Structure 1
């Protein structure tokens, strides 16, 4: 399997390290022998070799110099290709699309996916934008060209929130999905339960790296809304867009409200809900009061969790990390392994 990285930030490098560290296990258990032929990043430059790159050397060069084009020159090595030229002209079978993407437009990842599929190349990605905005178009295009489209990491990172209901719970009718899909807001609410103000809790989340300098996407519920759209369309068979999802964040909650809920044996959680109603799929993201014995109420800190209401299996609860470089890199590895099973 020849792999081209489009984007080589923290997540791309995390996957590259896993391919190095888990090489023997991947070959022994899954007959997986990935060859990285290209690394292309808007800021770090681009290198391509049809016979493969030494990925350990690539990681070292990026760590030492910040520019992948400082990779040692060898016969056949090509430097300077942009993302589109890499996708079109490289001999990659698999495109790992991990660029920084505008979630509102889904670009440039949507165009990267379109181009790859038209070139009959598979794609794995952790970008929410393409799946939230253009899932039907891209999945149809992938099927038309008989290639793989993997995006496990778009909802709960390495926790298999997408593969579990579609594979392990196959045969169930899932009537509702509800979940804590944003670790930053759950961390903030947990801190507020311990007596801290919203402002102090947000500041701590930023210091620990859970929240961005601009936390708007998290605290206003936008991040969870995109994930709700993915769940609605991929798991529930809906055809909704982000504007269809009622969305409210946690900025109107304060310490007094959180403490009052605790006295009533309840907890505030920012919940995404996706359900079937009168033949339609509807979704919402908003703070909700849960009884303290609700499984989702027990989820603390930056952890994510999700509940599937199944007609045969009953309620199924899944909890795990919803972020982190290793976890997100692992989600790409999950998809690559499943590609191997499906296409090889």
Structure 2
């Protein structure tokens, strides 16, 4: 399976490391032989070799020089392609799309997905924007061109929040999904339980790398709103415009609020709720006070969790890391293995998408 990587930052490099590390196991367990034939990154340059690139050497070049173009050239090596040229000309089977993308417009990832499908290539992405904004259009286009569209990493990173409800919980009616879908805000709320102010907790989260320099998307819950839209699209088959989902962040919460809840045997959590009733889907994202015996009340620190309220199996909770380079890299591998299985005719799940 030949891969073109569009974007080669932390997640892309972690994925490449996983491929190098698991190369033998992927061959033995799944009959999957993966070659990275092309990389295109706005900061690190681009490189293509039809026979595949040596991953260890490639990672060493990036570490040493910050550029993939320092990789040794041969007569077949081409350097300098932009992302669209890489998608069109690389003869890859799968495009791994991990660019820095504006979640509000879905670009440039949205254009990359469209172009890949149009040229008969499967796409695996961790970018929320395209999936939240254009889920139906993209999944239909992937189906039309007979290719795979994977996006497991868009909601809970390497924790399979999208595959679990459709495959493992198949046969259940999922009445509601409730989730802690942002590790940064959960870390901050947990830190505030020990007496820190929101400002102090945020600074600690930034120092540990959980929060960005500009934490607005996390604190105001915009990040979770896009994830709620993806869950509605994927699990319920109903498009919700992210802008139409009620959204409130945690900036209004004080240490006093946290203590008051504790006295009442409750905890504050930033929750996404997506529910279905007679085909009507509703979603909200906001801080809620929940009882200490609630499954989600026990989820602390930068951990994510989601509860599926099922009619047959009762509540099922899935919990794990919702971020992290290795974890997000692993989400790409989950989709890659499923893409390979589908190609081999051992299709699992419905449709040709994730």
Fold shared by both chains (TM-score > 0.5): yes
Q: CA deviation at 1:278?
A: 4.4
Residue 322 of structure 1: aligned partner: 322
**Secondary structure, aligned partner of 1:211:** coil
For residues 144-155 of structure 1, the aligned pairs below 5 Å read 144-155=144-155
Report the TM-score when normalising by structure 2. Answer: 0.96
1:104 is the counterpart of 2:104: yes
Could you tell me which residue of structure 2 aligns to residue 229 of structure 1?
A: 229
Tell me which residue corresponds to 2:79.
79
Superposed, which structure 2 residues align to 1:130-141 within 5 Å? Answer: 130-141=130-141
Query: Superposed, which structure 2 residues align to 1:305-344 within 5 Å?
Result: 305-344=305-344
Question: d(CA) in 2 for partners of 1:48 and 1:160?
Answer: 32
For 1:112-127, list aligned pairs within 5 A: 112-127=112-127
2: CA distance, partners of 1:297 / 1:264: 13
User: 1:14 corresponds to which residue?
Assistant: 14
Q: Give the structure 2 partner of residue 44 of structure 1.
A: 44
TM-score between both structures, scaled by the size of structure 1? 0.99
C-alpha distance in 1 between matches for 2:274 and 2:230: 10
Matched, 1:199 2:193: no
Structure 2 gaps, min length 5: 345-354
1:245 aligns to 2:245 (yes or no): yes
Secondary structure of residue in 2 paired with 1:235: helix
- Superposed CA RMSD: 0.7
| Residue 271, structure 1, aligned to residue 268, structure 2 | no
Residue 280 of structure 1 and its aligned partner are, at CA, apart by 1.2
Q: C-alpha separation between the residues in 1 aligned to 2:328 and 2:167? A: 20
How far has the Cα of 1:313 moved from its partner? 1.4
Equivalence for 2:283: 283
The Cα of 1:262 is off from its aligned counterpart by 0.5
Deviations 1:253-310 (A, max 9, x none): 0000001100110000000000013431111100000000001000000000000011
Whole-Å Cα distance in 2 between the matches of residues 272 and 6 of structure 1?
30
Number of residue equivalences:
344
Aligned to 2:172: 172
Q: Please, which runs of 5 or more residues in structure 1 have no aligned partner?
A: none
Moved over 4 A (4+): none
What's 2:61 paired with?
Answer: 61
Q: Distance in 2 between matches of 1:294 and 1:114?
A: 42
Whole-angstrom distance in 2 between the partners of 1:94 and 1:314: 38
